[in-house]
A and B are shown apart, each in its own frame.
Chain A
Amino acid sequence: MSVDLQTVKRVAHLARIAVTEDDAARMTGELNAILGFVEQLDEVDVSGVEPMTSVTPMKMRERQDEVTDGEKAADIVANAPATDANFFLVPKVVE
C-alpha cells in the first residue's frame, strides 16, 4: 500500500490539518516509508487469528447509571474563543 500526493492532501483535509504544497510532497515520501515498514507485517500468516482490539487482559469497567457530573456550563465554555449565554460560538455552518 502506498499513498499519492492527492491522498495525502485529502487525509489532511479530512482531519482539518493545514498542509502546504511543499509539506504535502515531503509527507508523501515519509508516509510511504512508514507504510512500507508496516507492510513487513504481511509476512506473518495471521489466517484464523481474531483481530486484536486490546492488549490488556481485563474486562471493561462499567459505571452505574447515576448523574455524577455536569451543571458547570461556565467551566465548559471557559476556554472557548467566543461564547454567548454559555453557548459555544463557531463560524456559521449551515447545510
Chain B
Amino acid sequence: MSKSLPAMTIQDVRTPDPKRFIPGATGDWEVVIGMEVHAQVSSNAKLFSGASTGFGAEPNAHVSLVDAAMPGMLPVINEECVRQAIRTGLGLKAEINRRSVFDRKNYFYPDLPQGYQISQYKQPIVGEGKVSVSVGPDREGRFEEIEIGIERLHLEQDAGKSVHDQHPTMSYVDLNRSGVALMEIVSKPDLRSSDEAKAYLTKLRTIMRYLGTCDGNMDEGSLRADVNVSVRKPGGEFGTRCEIKNVNSIRFVGQAIEFEARRQIGVLEDGGAIVQETRLFDPSKGETRSMRTKEEAHDYRYFPDPDLLPLEFDQAYVDALGRDLPELPDDKRGRLIDSLGLSAYDASILVSDKAIADYFEKVAAGRDGKLAANWVINDLLGALNKAGRDIEDAPVSPDQIGAIIDLIREGTISGKIAKDLFEIVWNEGGDPRELVESRGLKQVTDTGAIEKAVDEVIAANPDKVEQAKAKPSMAGWFVGQVMKATGGKANPQAVNDLVKQKLGVEG
C-alpha cells in the first residue's frame, strides 16, 4: 500500500483541462486519482506453496500446510510468478529491480492465518514505468492519448475469503485464495477523471492479457482496484485523499469516483475538511461509505521476512524475457495502421481485446486488411454484441469469414448476398463455399440473364420509363426492381449499366 511508504514528492504531470472539471457551487473543481490494482498472477501453483490456484474449488481444497500457516512451514517462491512479474514490468516499460526483498505486513484478520501478508515494501521487483492510455471516443469519435505514470509493481500473497451470511454468530473461512500470487500495480496520481481511470484499468487489463500474466477476470476476483480520490481547485495544491477499497468492476470504478468526488466537493463547499480514511463502495446504492475499522489497522509494522532471502536475478534473464514478449497492443495498433492502412479508430477497436485482435489477424492473413476490419468490426462484433456473446464463443470462425470475403472478391457473390450468407453461417454453420453452391447464391454475371430481367421490368412499367427519361435518378428504382427480381444475385454494377443503357439515361 503506497500510503504507508516513506513520503515521496508528488509531481503534477498533467495540465488542468476544463473539459474534465466538475462544476461546484463555488466554481470548478478537479478530481485527482491514483490507483492500486491487484492482479492475480497467471500460474498453476501459489506464490510460496505447491497448492493449486484454480478457481471455484471445494472449501479449503486448494490449501497446503504452508497456506494454512501451520507451525514450522516455510515458503518457497514459485519461479513462474517471478517471471510473470518481470514480464508485466517490461510490458509497462518499467525499471526492473534485479534485487528485491520480501517483507511481512502484519495485521490481524481471520482469513489471514499467518497474521501477516508476505509482500514487498521498500524494495519492489518493479519500479517506475508508464502506460499510454486512449480515452474516448468522444462525441466526434476521437480518442485522446494520455500517459499515466507507474510508481511500482510488487509481488504479494492474496488472503483467504470470509463468508458472513451462513451462520448467525460465526463467519466461514475458506483459504483457497490464501497465498495465491498477486501483482500490486501502483499508479502515480496522474488520472483526472472517472473516464481516464476506467480507460487506465482497461488498458492495464489488455496489456496483461496480451502478456498472459493475468487473465483479468473481474468476476472471479482476478483483478481488483483500490482507488485514491481527492479534489482540488484546478491546478491547485493536491487535496486530502480517501481510499476506496476493493472495487471489482470497471463500471464500479467510474461510479465510485463520481460519487466520491461529489461527496468531497460537498464537504469542502460546506466549509468542512476531508478526513483521510478508507471507504467502501456499495454497488447497490452507488455510494461510498466510511469503513469503521479501527485506525490501528494501518499499523502494519513491516519488516523483512526472515524466512525468505532477497530475490535476485541477472540482466541476461531479464533481457531474455524481453526478447520473448509478444507484440503489445500499442505496437499492434501502429502496425495495423501503418502496414494494413486501417483507420486509427478501427485499429483501436481491434487491439482493445487480444481475442479480437487474434481473430482479426487470422481473417486478414493474405486478404485486404480494410475489408477484413469491416467484416470483423461491423458484422462479427455487431452480431456478437446483439447476441450478448463473447468473441471466444463466436459461432462464425475466422476461416468462415475469410471465405465469405474471398467469395466477394472473386465476384462469386454480391455484397448483399454476403450479408445473408454470414447470417446462414452464424445460425446454421457450414462451409460458405458449399453453401453458395447448395443454396444457389451465386451472383448472376451472365449478361443475357440480367438483360432479360431488365427488359421485363422495363416492359412492365412504361409510366416509370417516361418519368426516368425526365429524371435520370429514377434509374435507381429500376436497379432495385431488377435486383429484387433476381433474388439479389445479379451483379449490381452490371444491372446498373444495363438499366442506364436501355433507358438511355446517364449518371
Contact surface of A with B, Cβ cutoff 8 Å: 10, 13-16, 53-54, 56, 58-73, 76-77, 82, 84-95
> Which has the most chain A C-beta neighbours within 10 Å: B78, B109, B170, B301?
B170
Report yes or no: A53 in contact with B304, Cβ–Cβ below 8 A: yes
Report yes or no: B59 in contact with A87, Cβ–Cβ below 8 A: yes
B119 at the interface (CB under 8 A from A): no
Closest 8 CB pairs of A and B: A65-B80, A68-B50, A70-B51, A69-B50, A69-B64, A60-B309, A73-B60, A62-B79
A15 vs B107: C-alpha distance in the bound complex, in angstroms?
A: 8
B424 at the interface (CB under 8 A from A): no
Report yes or no: B301 in contact with A76, Cβ–Cβ below 8 A: no
A70 vs B163: C-alpha distance in the bound complex, in angstroms?
A: 21
Q: With A53-B101, A86-B59 as given contacts, are A65 and B292 in contact (CB-CB < 8 Å)?
A: no
Question: Nearest chain B CB to A73's CB is how many angstroms away?
Answer: 4
New contact pairs (5) apart from A62-B78, A64-B78, CB-CB < 8 Å: A63-B78, A67-B52, A76-B63, A88-B174, A93-B109
Report yes or no: B79 in contact with A87, Cβ–Cβ below 8 A: no
Report yes or no: B174 in contact with A67, Cβ–Cβ below 8 A: no
Report yes or no: A65 in contact with B60, Cβ–Cβ below 8 A: no
Contact residue among A16, A58, A63 (Cβ-Cβ distance under 8 Å from B309): A58
Report yes or no: A70 in contact with B171, Cβ–Cβ below 8 A: no
B336 at the interface (CB under 8 A from A): no
Q: With A10-B296, A85-B59, A90-B110 as given contacts, are A65 and B164 in contact (CB-CB < 8 Å)?
A: no
Question: Nearest chain A CB to B55's CB is how many angstroms away?
Answer: 14
A69 vs B68: C-alpha distance in the bound complex, in angstroms?
A: 12
B contact residues around A58 at 8 Å (CB): 309
Report yes or no: B51 in contact with A69, Cβ–Cβ below 8 A: yes
Report yes or no: B108 in contact with A16, Cβ–Cβ below 8 A: yes
A43 vs B269: C-alpha distance in the bound complex, in angstroms?
A: 53
Interface CB pairs A-B, < 8 A, 23 = A10-B296, A14-B106, A14-B296, A54-B309, A60-B308, A61-B77, A62-B82, A65-B80, A66-B44, A66-B45, A69-B50, A69-B64, A70-B52, A72-B63, A82-B170, A87-B166, A88-B172, A88-B174, A89-B171, A92-B169, A93-B109, A94-B171, A95-B280
B167 at the interface (CB under 8 A from A): yes
A contact residues around B49 at 8 Å (CB): 69
Contact residue among A53, A73, A84, A91 (Cβ-Cβ distance under 8 Å from B310): A53
Question: Nearest chain A CB to B304's CB is how many angstroms away?
Answer: 4
Q: With A62-B79, A89-B167 as given contacts, are A76 and B175 in contact (CB-CB < 8 Å)?
A: yes
